[in-house]
Structure 1
Amino acid sequence: MNINKNTNFDNNNDIVGLNPLIIPNSIEIRSYQKNISESSRGKNTLVILPTALGKTVISALICSDILYNYKSKRVLVMAPTRPLVMQHENSFSSILKIPQEQIFVITGKIPPNNRNLIWSNDQLRIIFATPEIVKNDVLEQRINLDDFGLLVFDEAHRAVKDYAYTLIAKEYIQNASYPLILATTA
């Protein structure tokens, strides 16, 4: 399905057609991606798809829905490595009509005191980070997870035992008013 200014959808719940945050013609959205995105609306969701079948597109669609419908909320997207975090940021930037100054990548190269300023900046709509950074900042109370309308855990199969995802999810569920989690894995 190609999205452009002439796209018409009969379903008012259409996650794609009614969302102006998706850049027209930026991607071809497959029907299963649209279906998964729509069926996950408002639900904690685990998406299991083989590599290269568009989990990032699904994540971006769900993020766009949250950002469009909940203007005061932000999205936190996590991936286990810095290169994967950068790849997600590039993908989301090519799919979503979010100004670049509202998107930020947090890495371990940013000193903790500077990260305080980043986490508290409500102008940032989407933040990308590795789970270790998020875990450390949660433990040091640098981040208020209730600010986020959605947490995305990429490579979610790693969320076992003492991996950072486990602590982050637990803290988010306990402390956010309306926690919403999207986990993706192959």
Structure 2
Amino acid sequence: MGDAATAAVAADAAATEEAHKEDPEIVARWYQLEALERAMSGNTVAFLDTGAGKTLIAGLLLRAYAHRVRKPARDYAVFLVPTRVLVEQQARVIEAHTDLRVSKFTGDMGVDFWNAAIWRRVVDDAEVLVMTPQILLDNLRHSFFSLQDIALLIFDECHRAKGNSPYACILKGILPPCNEF
């Protein structure tokens, strides 16, 4: 890791430490820290009960990846959620628990009619993009986004990745074929 990257990681670590002091509600349990560690080392599915703190894990993961998405970097973190209501909810949580710049996208914004120039303009200052999987899938298919632009991709409710669902189609474009299931 170069000097600039090391300095960025150190600065983000200091900011995270300060955020923990300011936000006493963020106290991760051992299993959340274990899931976070696994997610930081590779593709991970956190299979936890409702209310077990998957959103906290995602927030901590976003903090850990902040140095990769903080502007002027060109990469983004993308947080996929299945509904418009969850887009709003998760965007608020990320904004409350990180200092990252969040943009949210739902179908009712008319995103189906946006071209590459509009997308570039609306995501230019963003570090985290919260959207439905269909919006990301459409952007990938139209080449408005590239998977190489995404430093971190979080799937909320990934159990929906079945058949030809948007989640499943995105995963088919990311993961090599696997016969282990």
Q: TM-score, normalised by structure 1?
A: 0.73
**Greater shift after overlay, 128-137 or 110-119?**
110-119
Which residue number in structure 1 is paired with residue 13 of structure 2? Answer: 18
The whole-number CA distance in structure 2 between the counterparts of 1:21 and 1:119 is 29
Task: State the match for 1:46 in structure 2.
Answer: 45
| Equivalence for 2:119 | 118
Flag the 1:31–1:19 CA change in 2: closer, same or farther, 3 A. farther
Task: Give the alignment's Cα RMSD to 1 decimal.
Answer: 2.6
Per-residue deviation, 1:40: 2.1
For residues 31 and 119 of structure 1, the distance between their equivalents in structure 2, rounded to whole angstroms, comes to: 39
Q: Which residue in 2 is equivalent to 1:14?
A: none
Instruction: Provide the secondary structure at the position in 1 that maps to 2:55.
Output: helix
**Alignment partner, residue 82 of structure 1:** 84
Gaps of 5+ in 2: 1-11, 177-181
Q: Is the 8 A contact 1:86 1:105 kept in 2?
A: yes
Higher mean displacement: 22-31 or 72-81:
22-31
Aligned to 1:97: 99
Q: Deviations over 1:89-147 (max 9, x none)?
A: 1111111122xxx2100111223354633356342100000111111222222222211
The change in CA–CA distance for 1:45 and 1:66 in structure 2 (over 3 A counts) is: same
- Assess, with a 3 A threshold, how the Cα gap between structure 1 residues 157 and 61 changes in structure 2: closer, same or farther: same
How many percent identity over aligned positions? 25
Structure 2 letter corresponding to 1:89: A
Q: Which residue of 1 aligns with 2:9?
A: none
Q: Secondary structure at the match of 1:104?
A: strand
Structure having the higher strand fraction is: 1
Provide structure 1 residue ranges, at least 5 long, that are not aligned to the other structure: 1-16, 175-186
Letter in 1 for 2:166: A
Counterpart amino acid of residue 20 in structure 1 = A
Q: Taking CA–CA contacts closer than 8 Å with sequence separation of 6 or more, which of the two structures ends up with the larger relative contact order?
A: 1
TM-score, reference length from structure 2 = 0.75
Matched, 1:135 2:137: yes
Contact 2:119–2:144 (CA<8 Å) still a contact in 1?
Answer: no
Equivalent residue for 2:170, pick from 168, 171, 175: 168
Number of equivalences:
157
**Contact 1:21–1:97, Cα closer than 8 Å, also in 2:** no
Q: Distance in 2 between the 1:20 and 1:166 partners?
A: 35
User: Is the 1:19–1:65 contact (alpha carbons within 8 Å) kept by the matching residues of 2?
Assistant: no
Give per-residue Cα distances to partners, 1:55-79, cap 9 Å, x unaligned.
0010111121112256423100001
Which has more helix, going by share of residues?
2
* Contact 1:21/1:64 (8 A) holds in 2: yes
